[in-house]
Structure 1
Amino acid sequence: MFVLVNLKAYPCDPVAVAEAAATVADDTGTRVAVAPQAAHLSAVAATGVETWAQHVSGVDHGSHTGSTLASAVADAGAVGTLLNHSERRLRLAAIDAGLRAAEDAGLETVVCANNPPQVGAVTALGPDMVAVEPPELIGTGTPVSQADPDVVEEAVAAAGRVDDDVPVLCGAGISTGDDLAAARDLGSEGVLLASGVAKADDPEAALRDLVSGI
């Protein structure tokens, strides 16, 4: 199971969370990654934790003020990137461009989608992984695996009909080991979470509880 922690723009200490994640990953043998703000990528990568970007732009070097270059993200130490998170929605053409830019920079990719039909659509673009995240459950503490388990199973099926080599991650409301175990039982190969770790008083304890479900 892959655990990807998105720090969003929460007022947490990204280095402290990264150090906690690195410790838990080393102690348990679990693949744990952290996606901080772009400005914190280098500091997070320096902890030794697997580091991901929250977004990259589908452009190359040039007149693109405000864009996040995939190559710059890779230079900062990231090995992967999210695309199309529900808080950073993209059109299919922009997702495709982002995937191509990430591929050129050697970055692994997770493309987010709201529901099973969208999962199928983005799987066709060739990401390394997809994540199903019903936006109404994000940040609620109510995991999709409990609120609507059919969404997870249908997302896995939708991806499989297009390319059964693309794993599906489960997002939205994930915070405990029970949540992770439920996601796994529904066919997910990992989880994407944020507030359950980023807002925790003790991120290491939160992560240890989370991976206890593996």
Structure 2
Amino acid sequence: MFVLVNLKTYPCDPVAVAEAVRDVNETTDARLAVAPQAAHLERVADTGAETWAQHVDPIEHGSNTGHTLAESVANAGAVGTLINHSEQRLKLADIDGSVQAAERAGLETVVCANNPAQIGAAAALGPDAVAVEPPALIGTGTPVSQADPDIVEDAVDAAESVDNDVSVLCGAGISTGDDVVAASDLGSEGVLLASGVAKADDPTAALEDLVDPL
């Protein structure tokens, strides 16, 4: 089970969360990773935690002021990147370009989408994984696996109908170990979460709670 913690721009200590991710990862069969802001990538990667970017742009080296270059993300120590998170939406052509840019830089990719129909379209672009995240549930503490489990099952079916090699993750509202188990039972191979760990007073305890039932 893949557990990817997105730190967004929450006022947490990215290094402390990364150290918690690293330490808990050593105690479980689950795979844990953390996605900090771009400015914190190198410091987070230096902790030894598996480090992901929150976004890369569909660009190459050149005149791209203010954009995020996949090669720079990889050089900072990231091994993967989110693409098309609900807070950083892209047009389909740009999603495709970002996936290609990430692949060019040797980064693993998770493309986010709102619903099963979008999951199918995203899977057709050949990412390593897709993540279904209904925007209305993000940050609510109500997991999609409880609010509307059909979305997760339908997303898994949509991805499989396009490309069996594309894994499906479940996001939005994940905060407990029971949520992770429920996502797994619905066919998800991982979860994408943020506030449940990034806002926790004790990130280590929050992570242990997530993986303990696995």
TM bracket, shorter-chain basis: over 0.9
Give 2:167's aligned residue: 167
Give 2:108's aligned residue: 108
CA distance in 2, matches of 1:50, 1:106: 14
Secondary structure at 1:96 match in 2: helix
Q: Deviations over 1:131-157 (max 9, x none)?
A: 000000000000000000000000000
User: Where do 1:1-214 residues align within 5 Å?
Assistant: 1-214=1-214
**Paired residues, number:** 214
Which AA in structure 2 matches 1:128? D
Using structure 2 for the length normalisation, give the TM-score. Answer: 0.99
CA distance in 2, matches of 1:213, 1:170: 17
Secondary structure at 2:24 match in 1: helix
Which AA in structure 1 matches 2:157? A
Let me know the Cα RMSD of the aligned residues.
Answer: 0.5
How big is the shift at 1:165? 1.3
Unaligned residue ranges in structure 1 (runs of 5+): none
CA distance in 2, matches of 1:40, 1:30: 24
Which AA in structure 2 matches 1:75? N
CA distance in 1, matches of 2:30, 2:158: 27
Which AA in structure 2 matches 1:36? P
Q: Deviations over 1:145-174 (max 9, x none)?
A: 000000000000000000111110000000
Using structure 1 for the length normalisation, give the TM-score. Answer: 0.99
How big is the shift at 1:97? 0.4
> Following superposition, which runs of at least 4 residues in structure 1 exceed 3 angstroms of deviation?
none
Q: Deviations over 1:30-89 (max 9, x none)?
A: 210000000000000000000000000110111100010000000000000000000000
Identity across the alignment (%)? 75
How big is the shift at 1:213? 2.8
